[in-house]
């Protein structure tokens, strides 16, 4: 799992009158859409802030460069096993509006059975990472929590980009520390670099495109994740029951024998 994918709308109060129809969506006011991928530690791994508010999350994804490196074959190698099956593409957690792609795992709107209900519960729980990321971003930088006052779309893009960069700097600085603010640490971790080999073959692009949008792979991975989570749930419950197993009571007869011998 690479992170959680979602969109946030930023109200544009001073949107030019001639553009209001283009930027006004379900919020009934002109907005700009931020598409982001956020991990558990609230790090923003991807940010796309160009689309008008009249577009929904799926349309924003179609215009987003999120999967561009994957289509070009320029992503780090990935291989993992889930429920005995091997997969070679990472995936993001998303809500129900997104398409059934092999790189997106969504919740189940009306789950039937205990296994599917448990999967839906866990998926929605982990997917809240991106919502927490949006909330923390707005709490840290009030400028993106209030309606935007600039007339320029380009200036607002720079503001949002600067806020996300500063947010990631704060996350990196405070990561793995017991304190809220430590400013003299230097991270020694190495970032993952993609494979230097890149294919310009159109057939490779088409194959990656079809693989990414394959709904059969999407449902196969989802079913394997359902089985995997259910198996882990059973193992955790067994471990907890073993830890909570009561201690054996002492033998009452042995205590009575000791008391009798002492009285004699």
Estimate the crossing angle of helix 215-243 against helix 114-140, to 10 degrees.
90
Task: For tokens 């600039």, name the residue.
Answer: 150
Cα 127 to chain centroid, rounded: 5
Per-residue pLDDT of the chain (264 residues; tens, 9 = 90+): 899 999 999 999 999 999 999 999 888 899 999 999 999 999 999 999 999 999 999 999 999 999 998 888 888 888 999 999 999 999 999 999 999 999 999 999 889 999 999 999 999 999 999 999 999 999 999 999 999 999 999 999 999 999 999 999 999 988 776 654 443 443 444 454 544 445 557 888 898 899 899 999 999 999 999 999 999 988 777 666 666 655 555 555 555 455 555 554
The token duo for 157 is 């893009």
User: Under DSSP, is residue 30 helix (H, G, I), strand (E, B) or coil?
Assistant: strand
Query: What single string gives the DSSP state of each residue in 135-191?
Result: HHHHHH-GGGTSPB--S-HHHHHHHHHHHHHHHHHHHHHHTT-SSS---S-------
Q: For the purposes of burial, counting CB atoms within 10 Å of the CB of 110, is it exposed (0-12), middle (13-18) or buried (19 or more)?
A: exposed
Q: How does DSSP classify residue 24?
A: B
Question: For the whole model, what pTM was predicted?
Answer: 0.79
Alpha-carbon distance 86 to 89, whole Å? 10
């Amino acid at each position: 799992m690479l992170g959680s994918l979602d969109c946030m709308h930023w109200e544009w109060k001073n949107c030019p009158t001639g553009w209001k129809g283009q930027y006004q969506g379900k919020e009934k006011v002109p907005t700009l859409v931020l598409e982001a991928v956020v991990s558990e530690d609230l790090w923003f791994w991807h940010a796309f802030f160009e689309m008008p508010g009249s577009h929904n999350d799926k349309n924003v994804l179609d215009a987003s460069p999120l999967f561009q490196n994957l289509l070009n074959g320029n992503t780090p190698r990935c291989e993992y096993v889930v429920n005995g099956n091997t997969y070679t593409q990472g995936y993001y957690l998303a809500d129900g509006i997104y398409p059934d792609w092999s790189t997106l795992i969504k919740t189940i709107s009306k789950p039937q059975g205990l296994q599917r209900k448990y999967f839906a519960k866990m998926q929605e729980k982990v997917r809240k990472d991106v919502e927490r990321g949006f909330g923390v971003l707005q709490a840290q930088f009030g400028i993106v929590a209030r309606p935007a006052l600039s007339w320029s779309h380009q200036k607002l893009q720079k503001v949002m980009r600067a806020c996300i960069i500063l947010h990631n700097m704060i996350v990196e600085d405070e990561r793995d520390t017991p304190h809220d603010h430590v400013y003299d640490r230097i991270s020694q971790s190495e970032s993952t670099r993609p494979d230097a080999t890149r294919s310009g073959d159109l057939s490779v692009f088409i194959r990656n495109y079809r693989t990414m949008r394959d709904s059969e792979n999407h449902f196969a991975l989802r079913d394997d994740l359902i089985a995997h989570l259910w198996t882990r749930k059973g193992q955790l419950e067994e471990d907890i029951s073993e830890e909570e197993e009561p201690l054996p009571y002492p033998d009452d007869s042995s205590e009575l024998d000791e008391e009798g011998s002492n009285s004699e």
